[in-house]
Amino acid sequence: MTDDAGVTVEAATIGGTGVMGSANGGDWQAAIRELAAIERPSASDGERRAAERIAARLEELGCRTEIEREQAHGGYWWPIGLANAIAALAGAVALRRRGRASRVLAAAAGGLSAAALWDDLGHGRRWFRKALLPRRPTWNVIAEAGDPGAERTVVLIAHHDAAHSGLVFHPALGRLGPRFLSRLHERSSHTLPVLYGVWLGPVMVCAGAVAGMWRLLRAGLILSFGAIDAMADIGLRSVVPGANDNLSAVGVLLGLAATLRERPVEGLRVLLLSTGSEESFSEGMQAYGDRHF
């Protein structure tokens, strides 16, 4: 089925019956359209309004529902851009002066920035963004269906915030690999780890400064400045409607809630979780885990 935004959404099945089939007709589709009309950047008032509407719909479908308020930075362009800027600034000083003190500074700054990015990109403690960048409220919606005392629990997760656009997300870039490296693309089992690109700049600045390899340091500067430009572009772009990322999954949660109300599964507790701030590297999901696990 295709919505007005041209997004195809397929209904999953439980016991041979479409999950969406009993969701009060087309209510799940109406919910996607309604939420897509709200500008919903991570940790924003739009995200809050989306969370409240999702919670209200889930309550109407018989779920025990609550909204949990957490704290998040709400973006990734500032942490990535700032870490690369610190490494690039120190690296530029070292490249210009080429003295021992400037090399030590570049090595320390590059190493610190690389460690910060490794932690942030790897969903670690996020110490860099927590120490230097502001935080705002974000909202997770948790709904419970089925038997609350059941031994088995199934958790289904969606998110209701939406991403910023950017040149790095242009569809043409995704077609370069299949076009120019077709055999390698056919054999590959994973997508290209593009986020290594925003981490390698500080690593190369650090390594180049330690070894006195100025070409390596200069290459690190180029990568870091490229990462800064890409993050600035993303931060300045508008927020997309996000119908298929991830409101289609929110629609699945609503359809499943309706199905479970009509045909509950004996001995099964179902948690329907829609998180905020997923687009800022799963801050909402991480906060949910910190609170409940």
The per-residue pLDDT for 261 is: 93
Query: Is the preceding omega at residue 84 within 30 degrees of 0, hence cis?
Result: no
In whole angstroms, what is the distance from residue 169 CA to residue 165 CA?
Answer: 7
What is the DSSP annotation of 218-242?
A: HHHHHHHHHHHHHHHHHHHSPBP--
Residue 211 structure tokens:
């070894």
The per-residue pLDDT for 26 is: 56
Residue whose C-alpha is closest to residue 208's, from 115, 117, 88, 116: 88
Strand partners, 136: 72
- Name the 3-class secondary structure at 67: strand
| C-alpha dihedral sign at 128, 200, 107, 100 | negative
Fold that domain 27-163+193-292 belongs to in CATH: Aminopeptidase (3.40.630)
DSSP 264: P
In which residue are the tokens 């041209």 written? 6
Residue 207 structure tokens:
């390594």
User: pLDDT tens, position by position, for the chain (293 residues)?
Assistant: 344 334 444 444 444 444 444 445 458 899 999 999 999 999 999 999 999 999 999 999 999 999 999 999 999 999 999 999 999 999 999 999 999 999 999 999 999 999 999 999 999 999 999 999 999 999 999 999 998 889 999 999 999 999 999 999 998 988 887 888 888 878 888 777 888 999 999 999 999 999 999 999 999 999 999 999 999 999 999 999 999 999 999 999 999 999 999 999 999 999 999 999 999 999 999 999 999 99
Burial 148-173 (b: 16+ CB within 10 A, else e): eeeeeeeebbbbbbbbbebeeeeeee
In whole angstroms, what is the distance from residue 57 CA to residue 40 CA?
Answer: 18
In which residue are the tokens 């700054």 written? 109
The per-residue pLDDT for 39 is: 98
Domain positions in the chain are 27-163+193-292
Which residues 6+ apart lie within 8 Å of 164 measured at CB? 41, 75, 77, 234, 235, 237, 238, 239, 240, 279
In the chain, where do the E strands start and end? 13-14, 17-18, 64-72, 136-146, 152-159, 268-275
Calculate the alpha carbon distances from 103 to 90, 91, 137 in Å. 8, 8, 40
- Using an 8 Å Cβ cutoff, are 209 and 131 in contact? no
